[in-house]
């Protein structure tokens, strides 16, 4: 079974600009996110998970406890999220956008070689994907 902890380097996107456009992210924000190629480092200690994402512009570290609600900072907004570990090789995050109740999600699927993150949003059937190669 693949391990979740590790370092992952982004190498490609699939439908991300279209996905961000569908959920209302402004043009410049979509372009900047699409051009970024961050390094993601994930650590797991018991029920505590840390996802640290480093790009040329900034470093964001998100720490949370599996199964517990937490504040999930995103550019321009902070979501209320809950993340579960599924099948030992998946992180599933369900989020609610404050003041609107709109739901979104991120599904991290880990293999021996990579992590694929699928982004979903209840306002659009379109999903976006980011692909990361395991580097450590």
Q: 34: pLDDT confidence band, cut at 50, 70 and 90?
A: confident
pTM: 0.93
Least confident range of 70-79, 80-89, 90-99, 109-118: 70-79
In a domain, residue 1? The reply is no
In a domain, residue 20? The reply is yes
The CATH number of the domain where 17 resides is what? 2.40.128.20
In a domain, residue 73? The reply is yes
Instruction: Determine the average pLDDT of the residues in 71-76.
Output: 84
Closest CA to 86 of 52, 109, 61: 109
Please report, rounded to a whole number, the percentage of residues in the chain having pLDDT higher than 70: 99
**pLDDT above 70: residue 24:** yes
116 DSSP assignment: E
Question: Max alpha carbon distance in the chain (Å)?
Answer: 40
Closest CA to 4 of 64, 35, 45: 45
Look at the chain and report how many structural domains it folds into. 1
Q: Print the domain residue range for 71.
A: 6-134
């Amino acid at each position: 079974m693949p391990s979740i902890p590790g370092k992952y380097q982004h190498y490609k996107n699939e439908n991300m600009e279209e996905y961000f456009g569908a959920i209302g992210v402004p043009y410049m924000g979509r372009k900047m996110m699409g051009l970024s190629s961050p390094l993601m480092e994930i650590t797991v200690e018991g029920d505590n998970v840390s996802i640290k994402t480093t790009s040329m512009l900034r470093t964001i570290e998100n720490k949370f406890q599996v199964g517990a609600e937490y504040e999930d900072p995103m550019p321009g907004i902070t979501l209320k999220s809950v993340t579960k570990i599924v099948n030992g090789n998946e992180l599933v995050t369900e989020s609610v956008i404050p003041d609107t109740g709109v739901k979104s999600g991120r599904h991290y699927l880990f293999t021996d070689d990579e992590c694929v993150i699928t982004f979903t949003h209840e306002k659009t059937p379109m999903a976006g994907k980011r692909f990361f190669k395991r580097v450590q």
